[in-house]
Chain A
Amino acid sequence: MAETEQVKPIPFLRGERVDLVVPRLEWVDIRVRWVNNPKIRTYLRGPFPATKDNMKQRFERVREGGLGEWVGFVVYHKTDNKPIGEVGLSRINWFTGWANAYANIGETDYWNQNYATEAVELLLKYAFEELNLNKISGSVALPNKGSWSVAEKLNFRFEGSSKEDSFRDGEYLDVKHYCYLQKDWLIRKNEKN
């Protein structure tokens, strides 16, 4: 681990306590540890194990011009100098201006300290002010209070719940759907100024 801490972060979006930085191949092991962690994966990516090769594949799929449908960042702690999680947009639709947001604080020591909230706020600013997207959605299983409290703190709109849309620990779970619209973001931005 000591070695990976020396890997230089490449900042893309600057925050107060964390920056959103460009993912590096050297962090593959850390990320594999995060997404396989039972505490994390339950709500994140379903029941399948993630291998190092799965993660590496993402780096080999080098963007060929074009916009692509996925943008991912590593959440990097600025004073502790280490990656603590991931955040990004997936399933981007450039025509409708829609994307799904995901966030995952992989280092459990950093839970419940509003790091996900800070990271998602940076992501929203990027999505609306740089990528000109219209709507960002996030879906969260009901027991995953950590995630939906992030959505509520950031004033996402609650759109509704869908019944038994997820499965964990032997039972079906309802899923809460949240969204953020570009116009809401820009109105709030103007109010702040």
Chain B
Amino acid sequence: MEEKNKKIITPFLKGERVDLCPTNVENAERYALWINNPEGRLYARNPLPSSIEEIKKKYGPPGEGMPEEISFEIYHKKDKKPIGLTGFLHINWLNRNANLFINIGEVEYWGRGLAEEVAKLVIQYGFEELNFHKIFTSIFTPNERSLRVAKKIGFVYECTLKEEIFVNGKFVDREKFALFKYDWLNK
């Protein structure tokens, strides 16, 4: 038991304030709190509840072949605890593009610029290790916080899909942003 309480942290990507570690089903309860969080899930588009069992399955042993999703746990180095999830969704290995997602699950860590640090780590990994050509992200119009992060990082606005998703009783727009490998490397 003693052994078990001494959590071994296995960073995969090292940052300044946070490291990105492999996901761990032992933390499924924590993930469930983040993924279902009423304040956080709205613009993350998690409109249905996710049980711990579903989350364990999602982050459990991977299937065969190249993954369509890659996730990391965001680990706060000073506070020594996981604070969220990040990674790529909808990976298309042929066209070499993927969708970036960031979920700072612990609400008290919002507004500290951590999402920006996380995004940079994941993007660098995407371009320099996974050899992606294009990374995209979508922002639902009233989500100012994510919009600021995307612009700061250098994402370029591509288009607006009108009234794409239903949030708080009305349809809102999806604004698509993209970042290309050559722009990232020439920064």
Contacts and interface: CB of A to CB of B under 8 A. Distances in A.
Interface of A: 8, 10-14, 22-25, 59-60, 62-63, 67-68, 71-73, 128-132, 186, 189
Given A12-B36, A128-B169, A23 B48 contact: no
A67 B48 CA distance: 8
24 contacts: A8-B29, A8-B33, A10-B32, A10-B52, A11-B36, A12-B38, A12-B49, A23-B49, A23-B51, A24-B52, A25-B51, A25-B53, A59-B51, A59-B53, A60-B53, A62-B57, A63-B54, A68-B48, A73-B49, A128-B169, A130-B166, A130-B167, A132-B166, A189-B169
Q: How large is the interface on B (under 10, 10 to 19, 20 to 34, 35 or more residues)?
A: 20 to 34
Prevailing SS type, chain B contact patch: mixed
B50 interface: yes
The 10 closest A-B pairs by CB, nearest first: A129-B169, A132-B166, A12-B36, A22-B49, A10-B32, A62-B54, A12-B49, A59-B53, A14-B38, A130-B47
Contact of A11 (B29, B38, B50, B167): B38
A51 to B, nearest CB: 19
A13 B169 contact: no
Given A10-B36, A22-B52, 8 more contacts: A12-B38, A22-B49, A22-B50, A23-B51, A24-B52, A59-B51, A129-B169, A130-B47
